[in-house]
Amino acid sequence: MGRGRHRLRPIRPAGQLEGDGVISQEEYAARAERVTRASGRTKDDPLVVTALTAGQRAWASMDANGDGKVTFDEYAAWAGAEAFDTVCEPVLGALFDLVDTDKDGALDLPEFTSLRTALGNPAGSIASAFDALDTDGDGYVRRADYLASVRAHVSGEDSPMGEALYSDGTTEAAEKVGG
């Protein structure tokens, strides 16, 4: 999948843990495992199975050369709106659903915090990301708004959530939150 114009900077690929500039398949799979633990669900829960399956599909799509690792360059070549629509949205939607404890299609701040913390975001920026997405001030972030904001971010468009989570004060700073 080709990418369009992105605002990228050299960063750790989404989910990368070891600081080596490469994400392994195990590191990528750990994202869903952390969200599963945070949600209190078990691996046989249908929502967990859906999230894990979507994650496996996303990994297969990102790991272009099949070596079990994704470099930033490999990720950058893959990322974009098309990749989000076909691969990332099912993964991120499934992870959203795992922490949506009352299954109302919206997350309150504790649920959102659980999700974004499990995905590796710094705790200090999560509340401002939530506020950026809670545009009507009702205390909830809807699934569609969350996914639209992530899509905008990975597509290089304006994303209030992306700015809150990843801004370093420059207009060019945009870190991927990928699928």
Pair 52, 72: CB distance under 8 Å: no
Q: How confident is the model at residue 3, as a pLDDT?
A: 37
Instruction: Report pTM.
Output: 0.79
Pair 116, 36: CB distance under 8 Å: no
Pair 119, 91: CB distance under 8 Å: no
| Start-end of H helices in 8-70 | 25-39, 46-62
Q: How confident is the model at residue 168, as a pLDDT?
A: 52
Q: How confident is the model at residue 17, as a pLDDT?
A: 45
What pLDDT tens digit does each residue of the chain (179 aa) get? 333 333 333 333 444 445 567 889 999 899 899 999 999 999 999 999 999 999 999 999 999 899 999 988 888 888 888 888 898 899 999 999 999 999 999 999 999 999 999 988 888 889 999 999 999 999 999 999 999 998 888 777 888 888 888 765 433 333 333 45
Q: How confident is the model at residue 19, as a pLDDT?
A: 59
Distance of alpha carbon 47 from the chain centroid? 17
Q: How confident is the model at residue 53, as a pLDDT?
A: 94
Determine the Cα–Cα distance for residues 84 and 91; give it in Å rounded to an integer: 9
